[in-house]
Chain A
Amino acid sequence: MKKFLLPAALGLSMMLAACGSDDGASETANAGDGGEFTPSESIEIVAPAGAGGGWDTTARMAAKVLQEEEIIDGKIGVTNKEGGGGAVGWSYIANYEGNPHKLFVTSPPMIFIPLNGQSEYDHEDFTPIANVIADYAAFAVREDAKWQDLNELFEDMKKDPTSVTVVGTSSPGSMDHMQFVQIAKAAGVDITKIKYVSAQDAGGMTQLLNGSVDVYSTGVAETVEQVKAGKVRVLGVTSEERLEGEVLEDFPTAKEQGIDETFINWRGFFGPADMEPAAIEYYEEKFKELSDSEAFGEIREQFGWNEMYLDSEEYKTFLDEQREEIQTLLDELGLAK
């Protein structure tokens, strides 16, 4: 037993630790001459969540393409820092001020979690480097539901907000809730009266299908299979224009239904605060190359992600706007901390 178990355990822990190594070859980055930057040690990309989720998948897929297509020469390791909906990972990165070898992947919870009072760090405590993908929300109802479009649903909600239950995976004040609130508000619904329940472990689709709830607020990709099978109908998606692809192209946008509002589930890469400009420039270029590569295009297609590249400056402006919008909504809901 001992002989057998020990090597196995060691092998495994090494396998797991390998993803967690930031082996100490700490030379300073050679940023000196001419402002050029190249990584002098292995790069760590932190997924501030457990293995298998959206952040983890993005980080692992990006690391894979960056290395395999030789966009970045050298080692890239992906580590998981799980906890607090991201807060644990962010506080880890906050310890590495100015370190150009620590990156992390993040998305709208970077805005939501600090506003909900669950993280002391917000996006201004880090350096946004580049956004790479966009995803959109979809609002689905059962195939036999009486609503044919978003306006019919919102008309009913204006008359009697308690007659409609909305389900999502995240807690109130976080993404699934707020993406619905944002669109409903633009349509003139009293958002303080929206009935929202949160169901974990993909319980949202289950509860929609068995009739417990009326509307499922989720990501576009989560609805496709059930739409194909004729079980649910998507009343609207939150993108600016219609999405591309089989089934997806049939989803009407909120905008074309006269509701002038969008919601983007953006996803991109950040670094610690005070990254030197040469390093930012280096990574911007590399992530642009990643975003344009055929290999990453295939991955986007597989997961149903859309391309959305923003460089560091654009990203910063975008994030500030996002925060202001969400802050206003949270204030109105009385959820802001």
Chain B
Amino acid sequence: MGSLDGIITGFQTAFSLEAILFVILGVFVGTIIGMLPGLGPISAIAVMIPMTFGMEPATALIMMAGVYYGAIFGGSTSSILLNAPGVSGAVATSFDGYPMAQQGKAGKALAIAAIASFTGGTVSVVLLMLLAPALSSVAVSFGPAAYFALMLLGLTAIASLSEGSTIKALISAVAGFMVVTIGIDAQTGTQRYTFGNMNLLEGLDFLVIALGLFAIAEVCSLVLSRKDKSIGDTHNIGSLKLDKKDLKDMSGPMTRHSFLGFILGVLPGAGATIASFISYIFEKRLSKNPEEFGKGSVKGLAAPETANNAATSGAFVPLLSLGIPGSGTTAVMLGAFLVLGVQPGPMLMTDRPEIFWGVIASMYIGNIFLLIINLPLIPYFAKILKIPRPLLISLVIVFSMIGVYAISFNTFDLYMLLLFGVIGFLMRLFSFPAPPFILAFILGGMLEQSLRQALTISNGSLSIFLDDKIALSLLFLALLSFVFPLVKQLRKNKDKATEA
């Protein structure tokens, strides 16, 4: 029972006083960074790397892992209160979290997010502990064909993210696809839509688009509607308490998406953002009252918040057991490991069990402290809504700008933020939904690249999608997911017709 010994060593490491102190520090810093729009865990971890030089590797890594999942945990706060996602994994949180806050239930929304985050985080750590060694083969089982099919499955959700006109939702999605092609094409090295501007060579950052379309566009709407008192009684924070019905509503999505989020997190490249979107869509499909989604649904808030935290633990599977970073943040984490003289990979579990299991075990403690830190602070966080509107609006603008500037320290991104703010505002004005745009932007890049990788490998033959079993099953699911709502709609229409 080598691994049991390892797990025990890991718990000993994680429960040492030093490790506990640093995990608290890590999750605290993470929560704050997550709350601030745009300031992500990547820059925080990178800045910390030189500071950890000479520290005990296990302790340092436990702290940095804490910053990472702490940021995802805290990311929900500004999504809910200000419609300004703190991290990209928290965009889907704003779909129902922000409407809930506007209805005067900010306290409740924050409490739901905290509990869902805690559940997603904790359940997935259990899964991580049980399955990390076994799952390493799952992490690499997806070839380009399978990734293409997975992205396609995600895309079928566009219909369910739209309210009102499907045509407008599709136009919005096409615009998202077009924007994501900006930059150097990875498969040919050609520049697309850069107009010779080198600032566009690497494409636009996701947060520039998300903060523009959501936060800045919201600010524009608020300014324009300043005389309109009907725009929700946002001064009211509401009670923190969740009643039995809320808890019952949450339990389903929390269980489902702890698993789904974790699995999606394991796949390199999918990560917390895609997990949160897919969970949101999946939950809406399952729901008996899909029309509540987007208007402050408890389930619609709990699903993505559970999934993004679960995905964060999932992302540690390829990192720790294969040495393969699946995202920008885990790539920086890999760098942090190397600086400390630890090489993540297939040998880590046997060579350095105290680090492999120590980091995992510390996540239990980290998640508990996140709940302890976050719950009592909710009333204080929620007070932000009591700030007079002119001040609040300025704050949102300032934070969005700081966040975007911190991505690359490039003023060009600030102009892009404003541009997308204006685009987002115009989209609202003419009722083009923003979520399909964001979804297409997130999935589009990988959809295109994996399709072309697959076709290059197969010398242009489409049979690669049929030969790959994972791809085939995912394509089948995508087809179902596309046809199912149509059938449902047809049936509804028929029922109506017979009733009439």
Contacts and interface: CB of A to CB of B under 8 A. Distances in A.
Interface string B133-172: 0000001111111000000000000000000000000000
B408 A207 contact: no
B457 A165 contact: yes
Given A83-B408, A197-B456, A224-B343, A8 B46 contact: no
A118 interface: yes
Given A51-B46, A52-B46, A82 B198 contact: no
B449 A16 contact: no
Given A171-B184, A171-B186, A173-B189, A9 B36 contact: yes
A60 B47 CA distance: 10
A80 interface: yes
Contacts of A209: 140, 322
A326 interface: no
B326 to A, nearest CB: 6
A30 interface: no
Contacts of A207: 143-144, 453
A20 B459 CA distance: 47
B323 interface: yes
Contacts of B365: none
Q: Which of A8, A212, A226 gathers most chain B CB within 10 Å?
A: A212
Interface string A1-14: 11011001100110
Contacts of A56: 46
B343 A225 contact: yes
Interface stretch (A85-93, A122-130, A257-265, A317-325): A85-93
Contact of B42 (A52, A197, A229): A52
Contacts of B381: 1
Q: How large is the interface on B (under 10, 10 to 19, 20 to 34, 35 or more residues)?
A: 35 or more
A162 B384 contact: no
Interface in B103-145: 139-145
A212 B198 contact: no
A226 B343 CA distance: 11
B419 interface: no
Contact of A118 (B201, B339, B406): B201
B49 interface: yes
Contacts of A205: 140, 322, 324
Contact of B380 (A4, A13, A80): A4
Chain B interface helix/strand/loop/mixed: helix
B187 A210 contact: no
B32 interface: yes
Contacts, number: 192
A103 interface: no
A49 to B, nearest CB: 10
A20 B406 CA distance: 10
A82 B407 CA distance: 9
A1 B382 contact: yes
Interface string B332-348: 10010011010111110
B339 A5 contact: no
B184 A85 contact: yes
Interface in B195-222: 198-199, 201-202
A171 B201 contact: no
A174 interface: yes
B384 A1 contact: yes
A199 B46 contact: no
Interface in A176-226: 195, 197-203, 205-207, 209-213, 224-226
A75 interface: no
Contact of A229 (B53, B269, B345): B345
B390 interface: no
A327 interface: no
Nearest to B454: A212
B201 A84 contact: yes
Contacts of B144: 197, 199, 207, 212
Contacts of A5: 35-36, 384
Contacts of B268: 201-203, 206
B199 A88 contact: yes
Interface in B345-379: 345-347, 377
B383 interface: yes
B398 to A, nearest CB: 8
Interface in B277-293: none
A211 B331 CA distance: 23
A171 B187 contact: yes
Contact of B456 (A61, A84, A165, A203): A165
Given A60-B49, A165-B456, A91 B326 contact: no
A51 B35 contact: no
Contacts of B345: 225-226, 228-229
A201 B269 contact: yes
B380 A1 contact: yes
17 contacts: A1-B381, A9-B36, A12-B33, A51-B42, A82-B409, A84-B199, A87-B198, A87-B201, A118-B201, A171-B189, A172-B187, A172-B189, A197-B452, A199-B449, A209-B140, A210-B142, A225-B343
Given A1-B387, A4-B380, 12 more contacts: A9-B36, A50-B328, A52-B328, A64-B53, A82-B409, A83-B408, A88-B408, A197-B456, A198-B453, A209-B140, A225-B345, A228-B345
The 3 closest A-B pairs by CB, nearest first: A225-B345, A51-B46, A229-B346
